[in-house]
Amino acid sequence: MSGSGPGRPIASDLEIARSVRPRPILQVARELGLRDDEVELYGPAKAKVRLEAIDRLETEAISGGRRGKYVVVTAITPTPLGEGKTTTTVGLAEGLNRIGRRAAVCIRQPSLGPVFGIKGGAAGGGYSQVIPMEDFNLHLTGDNHAVGAAHNLASAFVDNSITHGNPLAIDPLAILWPRVVDISDRALRRAVIGLGGRENGYPREAEWQITVASEVMAVLALATSLRDLRERLGRVVLATTYAGKPVTAEELRVAGAMTVLLRDALKPNLLQTLEGGPAFVHAGPFANIAHGNNSILADRLALATNEIVCTEAGFGADMGAEKFFDIKCRASGLRPDAAVLVATIRALKMHGGVGRIVAGRPLDPALTAENVAGVRAGCANLAAQVEIVRLYEVPVVVAINSFPTDTEAEVAAVREMALAAGARDAVVSRHHALGGAGAEELAAAVWEAAGVGAPDFHFLYPDELPLREKIETIALRVYGASGVDELPAASRAIALYEELGFGRFPVCMAKTHLSLSHDPALKGRPSGFRVPVRDVRLSAGAGFVTPLLGEMRTMPGLPSHPAGEQIDIDEDGEVVGLF
């Protein structure tokens, strides 16, 4: 979290959020051109937007040549504390509105697991937040619960089919579909279910994942219509038969019921920034496992109603931005105009070998003392991330998320090295302390870059490239690996997916977010490493395959002192302890 600026009180994010009275969300909706009957209110400060409104507004925008500029916000490889990417996304939109550009922010809804675990609140921070902050971080409009219900309904159908004669010949040892819960609970990673006799099902080992890692969440984020949602859910592979044939949700006759549970969840959620600008908060696919971007529908709605849209991609450019370009843009047909790459001085020092950052512990003093040499060394990571974005011919602006301990010499070093790497500009932003006023310079630079646009934008690989070569392309060109080592399980999976007709799918790499490589210990810009692909999983409904690089967990655990220890209700019934 950045420090407070001159004239601003030192306050928690929750205190700052509560110091602002939200505008009636219906007023925000009307300013976007939405009709009252196209908005479904969830109280005075949040709403859902009906899908028919997206079609109407898109048609009007296209006929009038008014589609907004599309800007993706990404980052360098983060520390375990994060580098303020959500805060920068919100602050950038606030800054754009302040310089006279009609701007909206599009971000994901957080999972309850990290909120009550390590991360705490995820609505931005300081004076660049989405409000109401408590609603944003907790249940919002119930979308995550709907995803969990739809996912677990399919799980129940699988076991029920086996219990009742197993008409589809499902192999109980080849069930691919786990169960989910939106809480970090390591004890559920692997468990034995079906105990207690024939009435309780077929005893077997099962897996739980956190809800945001569900393929259903990825499907929700990538669906372009209710019909597309239904078709994608029908293609989800739940298990295989004794003969090795895939069993889909359509064949199990559960896809329709899953769609019914998700009908309202598919509608984008409309909230607002602290400064009253529109904020769309919709879907929350896991960025390590899935594609880590908010929904296509929210972006389309924002682009049809604004001059410029700031949409956030999870983690560094090697993860969220690569998946934004190669997966989300493929599915949506939308093309980006510019990218913003968030960096902090403290993270660059860490990548330069200075200090150590551990979540939950006090910040290493070495990271707050001036160290220009350390910053320059760490800028190797910044340069790599800039170059990743430039692989797609997208202009990139580096946003230096300001902290009070940053020095002019350190900032000058970042700017120099960012420009040398191919960034169009590098700008200090003080949005955390000053809101939109602190992001005006960044906003001007981004508006200029988006005006130039990306006329030569292209995907990293064509659809027809074999899966193995797609994996190698990302490992070598994005991560900087020297090669790929494919384990036998991965080889078998790739061969099977090619045989089943899934070879044209894009790949959604699952790896650590703490390094450009698969190994979280390798900081900066590692080289000479080989990427191990231990397995490849199919997400036929989402429309991608997922190579697993190294050890990846789909169910986080709680730390020794979870953030939930601080969350409570005060005497007035108000939430306290969300940060």
* DSSP result, 529-572: -EEEEEEEEEETTTTEEEEEES---SS----SS-GGGG-EE-TT
Structure tokens at 167: 């008409």
- Cα(260)–Cα(148) distance, rounded to whole angstroms? 13
Q: CATH 3.10.410.10 occupies which residues in the chain?
A: 467-549
Q: Is 40 helix (H, G, I), strand (E, B) or coil?
A: strand
pLDDT along the chain (579 residues), means of 10: 45 90 97 98 98 97 89 96 94 98 97 83 91 94 98 97 96 95 94 91 92 96 98 97 96 98 98 98 93 97 98 97 98 98 97 86 90 98 98 98 97 98 98 97 98 97 98 98 97 94 97 96 97 96 95 85 88 85
Residue among 541, 543, 566 at smallest CA distance from 231: 541
Q: Are 81 and 392 in contact (CB under 8 A)?
A: no
> At 101, which amino acid appears?
R
User: Looking at residue 122, what is its pLDDT?
Assistant: 82
The CATH-assigned architecture of domain 467-549 is Roll (3.10)
Q: CATH 3.30.1510.10 occupies which residues in the chain?
A: 143-259
User: Looking at residue 98, what is its pLDDT?
Assistant: 98
User: Looking at residue 10, what is its pLDDT?
Assistant: 65
User: Looking at residue 119, what is its pLDDT?
Assistant: 65
Query: What does CATH list as the number for 143-259?
Result: 3.30.1510.10
User: Looking at residue 505, what is its pLDDT?
Assistant: 98
Beta bridge partners of 41: 47
Structure tokens at 544: 């991608």
Could you identify the residue written with the tokens 């093309």? 335
**DSSP class per residue in 264-324:** TTTSPEEEEETTS-EEEE-----TTTS--B--HHHHHHHHHH-SEEEEEBSSSIIIIIHHI
The CATH-assigned architecture of domain 13-141+265-339+428-452 is 3-Layer(aba) Sandwich (3.40)
pTM of the predicted model as reported, rounded to 2 decimal places: 0.95
Beta bridge partners of 533: 486, 549
Residue among 330, 516, 310 at smallest CA distance from 431: 310
- Cα(562)–Cα(78) distance, rounded to whole angstroms? 21
Cβ density class 287-313: b for 16+ within 10 Å, e for less: bbbbbbbbbbbbbbbbbbbbbbbbbbb
User: Looking at residue 437, what is its pLDDT?
Assistant: 98
Structure tokens at 331: 């599915």
Residue among 429, 534, 434, 522 at smallest CA distance from 480: 522
Residue among 331, 119, 68, 141 at smallest CA distance from 223: 331
Residue among 237, 192, 134, 179 at smallest CA distance from 569: 134
Q: Which residues contact 518 (CB under 8 A, 6 or more apart)?
A: 479, 511, 512, 529, 531, 532, 549, 550
Per the document, the length of the chain is: 579
CA dihedral 97, 99, 100, 106 (to 10 degrees): -30
Helical spans, DSSP H, in 476-534: 488-499
Structure tokens at 569: 């209700």
User: Looking at residue 7, what is its pLDDT?
Assistant: 43
